[in-house]
Amino acid sequence: MASEEQLSAIKRAKVLMVGAGGIGCELLKTLALSGFQDIHIIDMDTIEVSNLNRQFLFRQCHVGQSKAKVARDAVLRFRPNISITPYHANVKESRFNVDFFKEFDVVLNGLDNLDARRHVNRLCLAADVPLVESGTTGFLGQVTVHLKGKTECYECQPKPAPKTYPVCTITSTPSKFVHCIVWAKDLLFAKLFGDKNQENDLNVRSSDTGNSSEHSEDVFECRKDEDIEQYGRRIYDHVFGHNIEVALSNEETWKNRNKPRPIYSKDVLHVKMTKENGDTEKDCATGDVSAMASLSLKNPQDIWSLAENSRVFLEALRLFFSKRGKEIGNLTFDKDDQLAVEFVTAAANIRASSFGIPLHSLFEAKGIAGNIVHAVATTNAIIAGLIVIEAIKVLKKDNNNYRMTYCLEHPSRKLLLMPVEPYEPNKSCYVCSETPLSLEVNTRHSKLRDFVEKIVKGKLGMNFPVIMKGASILYEVGEDLEDDMVAIYAANLEKALSELPSPVTSGTVLTVEDLQQEFSCSINIKHREEFDEEKEPDGMVLSGWVEAPVDKDNNKPNGNGESTSNALPTEEILEGEKDVEIQETSGGTETVAGKKRKLSEVDESRNQKKPEKLDLDDEDDELVISDDWESLTKKKRV
């Protein structure tokens, strides 16, 4: 039972929730049942059918509606006397500024991307409002507490780019090629060639598509009266044409996104393409069945056109049914299966073309593909409960009992929940400690645009940057700018740094601000003539902002490779998760619960080689891709 002090703190509190997805649904329910009276929710997403297996406030009839609004209505049915204010909006909109955040006693995050998390972290720092952060991936989860000046902020430890993405992004709103790869590999390939009885999000329609017989039956079943080419074209038209048109019917989804383009086979290929396929029997002469060989496409590093991808798609499908028919129904994607890689590459590229995403070569696509794990609703519920526990401590100002808690897949010291004390702020953090950064760059060749895109937005996560050299403004973004200033700043973007009206050369100190986030940092510029194109592809190196450690043997980030549904990155130093280590000993594994240490000790330990650790950077991660999945399932470091 809660004490009178707790009940009083709960009833008085004004709480902001950001995210109404997997964690958010459980969190809103738990807040309401715990006695919270004034709750505000921000979420820009609409409900997808694929959400329904774990976001239990939503039902089939809610598909296409605002998550925040439907969640509010669902909870008010069993807690009608509390106040819940929903915002169907992006938390990065200008109305959600520092003054808005100052209205709240605590902010609770249930977000699914790194960029929004960084944005909320900076607003909470500027508003001096406590933040409770969270994340889940499969059976793993974490809750961390961030208070300005008392604990690490969310960015005190550098984060890699997110490696996992929500399934609704994969099925409905892809924005990266990796989203298209996962869709082609885990949904379309599995539906056509895998277990027919297994659930698959391609079975699902986000709204009533009508009563036509074509779309009321299973369109993925080959009809008795059609040949393989007709079947292939029908599948093509359904997934790249009809399904896109269905998605476009939900106008709410596309208010702040670029609309995709439906693609039909008749618009890309001739009515009959058999003769254009070259020697379709060529594959019989070799051990490997290959659509590329049939179509005389030789270089896997070439980027195929839309027409070429369409031919590969149809030819690969034909070869699966004509040459490997006995395997249909039992196939799973294997990156060493040439025909499977060809099919997935072609399908991903066609979908990418529909959504305006740059196409990739077969060589690149093969490198992106990996393994999959699904989200677990129970983990979301556990994490939501832990968030509320920490929120109550924050409201009581119970500083000595704040905990970062990790939900483990396997018991450690007979515990599945591992609480550790929060870390002190990192004095080297450029966000909360305002430590200057250093940038090595060729000031004569690199343009201001490169600096803005690769550093200011790409690495520092600023949305509305202002770049200054002393009192001179080199670049600014804002809705209230005069047209002549917009033209001047646009012209500056195309100039080399040393050729700007106020030249940027070695020794220059730039001040970069984001007025919405009320965040500012200084960057010391150092001129450098040459860069290693492989190791330093950006042509500039930012120090003080550290990316994920790289496996020198494989030349890729430790743990996971490139992913799709945003992937469970494993790193040596990430977030506040250095607190719990599972160290290898001669007698097996031993878990060490970390305790708060002095910053000097923290800095010293950061320079030592540590066991790997999992970083759970995303809530609502339906799909996770890893190039080294075995390393994630072993009890190394959490």
Range 1-160+372-432+544-638: architecture per CATH: 3-Layer(aba) Sandwich (3.40)
In the chain, domain spans:
1-160+372-432+544-638, 175-356, 437-542
Q: Is the dihedral of CA 31, 388, 143, 42 positive or negative?
A: positive
HEC profile of 395-457: HCCCHHHCCEEEEEEEEECCEEEEEECCCCCCCCCCCCCCCCEEEEECCCCCEHHHHHHHHHH
Give the residue among 259, 258, 596 at the shortest CA–CA distance from 400: 596
Q: Does residue 386 sit in helix, strand or coil?
A: helix
At 161-174, the pLDDT tens digits run 545 566 778 888 89
Q: Are 1-160+372-432+544-638 and 437-542 equal in CATH topology?
A: no
CA angle 179, 570, 543 (to 5 degrees): 95
pLDDT score at 553: 39
**pLDDT of amino acid 488:** 92
Q: Which pTM was predicted?
A: 0.61
For residue 399, the tally of other CB atoms under 10 A from its CB is 13
Query: What is the SS3 string spanning 332-385?
Result: CCCCCCHHHHHHHHHHHHHHHHHCCCCCCCHHHHHHHCCCCCCCCHHHHHHHHH
Closest CA to 161 of 122, 116, 113: 113
Taking the chain, what is the end-to-end CA distance rounded to the nearest angstrom?
Answer: 32
Query: What is residue 251's predicted lDDT score, i.e. its pLDDT?
Result: 85
115 is in an annotated binding site: yes
3-state secondary structure 26-74: HHHHHHHHCCCCEEEEECCCECCHHHCCCCCCCCHHHCCCEHHHHHHHH
pLDDT along the chain (638 residues), means of 10: 76 95 95 95 89 91 94 96 96 92 96 88 94 91 93 84 65 88 90 77 47 56 85 93 90 87 90 49 55 91 94 95 89 86 95 94 81 73 96 91 91 89 89 88 93 90 91 87 90 94 92 89 92 82 59 34 30 27 30 37 39 42 37 34
Q: What angle do CA 143, 146, 151 make, to 5 degrees?
A: 115
* 153 assigned ligand-binding residue: yes
246, 219 Cβ separation under 8 angstroms:
no
- The response to whether 53 counts as a known ligand-binding position is yes
How is domain 175-356 classified at the architecture level of CATH? Answer: Orthogonal Bundle (1.10)
117 is in an annotated binding site: yes
- The pLDDT of residue 606: 38
Query: Given this model, what pLDDT does residue 624 score?
Result: 39
Task: Look up residue 562 and give its two tokens.
Answer: 């490139």
Q: Is 38 annotated as a binding residue?
A: no
Which token pair is 386?
A: 């832990």
Predicted local distance difference test score (pLDDT) of residue 160: 62
Could you tell me which residues are beta bridge partners of residue 87?
42
CA distance 470 to 485: 18
Pairing mode of beta strands 465-469, 415-420? unpaired
Q: How many helices (H) and strands (E) does the chain have?
A: 21, 22
The DSSP output letter for 161 is: P
Please state at what angle helix 4-12 crosses helix 377-395, rounded to 10 degrees: 100
623 is known to lie in a ligand binding site: no
Q: Is 59 annotated as belonging to a binding site?
A: no
463 is in an annotated binding site: no
- Please give the DSSP secondary-structure letter assigned to residue 436: -
Looking at residue 567, its pLDDT comes to 31
pLDDT 10s digits, 488-511: 999 999 999 999 999 999 999 999
Q: Is 403 marked within a binding site?
A: no
Task: Report the C-alpha gap between 20 and 68 in whole angstroms.
Answer: 6
Return the active site residues. 168
Residue 116 assigned ligand-binding role: yes
Instruction: Establish whether 492 is an annotated binding residue.
Output: no
2.40.30.260, 3.40.50.720, 3.10.290.20, 3.40.50.300: CATH of 437-542: 3.10.290.20
Residue 112 marked ligand-binding: yes
Looking at residue 201, its pLDDT comes to: 65
Known binding residue 429? Answer is yes
453 CB neighbour count, 10 Å cutoff: 13
pLDDT of residue 224: 81
- Say if residue 52 carries a ligand binding annotation: yes
Whether 110 has a binding-site annotation, put simply, is: no
